[in-house]
Structure 1
């Protein structure tokens, strides 16, 4: 999986990079067929913003963002949102495949 971390008006420290890569492991445990993840950390007035865009092998594009006073908290919340979206996407794909199998069993039974 390709991973890109960038900052707007924020210097990316090694601690931030390590925090993001630690959270990235949780996504790869859920689905090993992820294509890429782009994380942008930025500063908007007094709010620290973290936004991430995740591409899956099925072509889905998942996006999440979080605004918090602490950058590490906003990173955690953003990854929680991505995990929730990824789980929902996987359930949808699995349900679709199960429905196709049931339909085929009725047709060719």
Structure 2
């Protein structure tokens, strides 16, 4: 699994990198077939009082790409929301991949 964490108008500190990797372990624990994860952390500088922290993540799994984004005043809260969204999408993808709801082929005699 390739993990890329990058920041836009933000320096990715080792503590922040460690927080992201520990949160993303939850997703890899639920679904093992993750090929690539790209995380982009940004700080939007609209006004100095209303600085919005955004977190985006794109997960490439076998046969599909999963994308989620979250924005909050606190970057850690944005990351928590992001991982919750991704976890729901990954669990839904896992159930769709594992679902075999077709009927067996009938024999013609």
What is the TM-score when the length of structure 2 is the normalising length? 0.88
Determine which structure has more spread, i.e. the larger CA radius of gyration.
2
Could you give the per-residue CA deviations for residues 83-108 of structure 1, whole angstroms, max 9, x where no partner exists? Answer: 0000111111222xx224xx23x425
List structure 1 runs of 4+ shifted beyond 3 angstroms: none
Task: Give the structure with the larger helix fraction.
Answer: 1
Structure 2's unaligned 5+ residue stretches are 46-50
Q: Could you say which residue in structure 1 is the equivalent of 2:76? A: 72
Map 1:55-94 → 2, pairs under 5 A: 55-57=60-62, 59-94=63-98
Map 1:1-109 → 2, pairs under 5 A: 1-45=1-45, 46-57=51-62, 59-95=63-99, 98-100=100-102, 103-104=103-104, 106-108=105-107
RMSD (Å) for aligned C-alpha atoms: 1.1
What is the TM-score when the length of structure 1 is the normalising length? 0.88
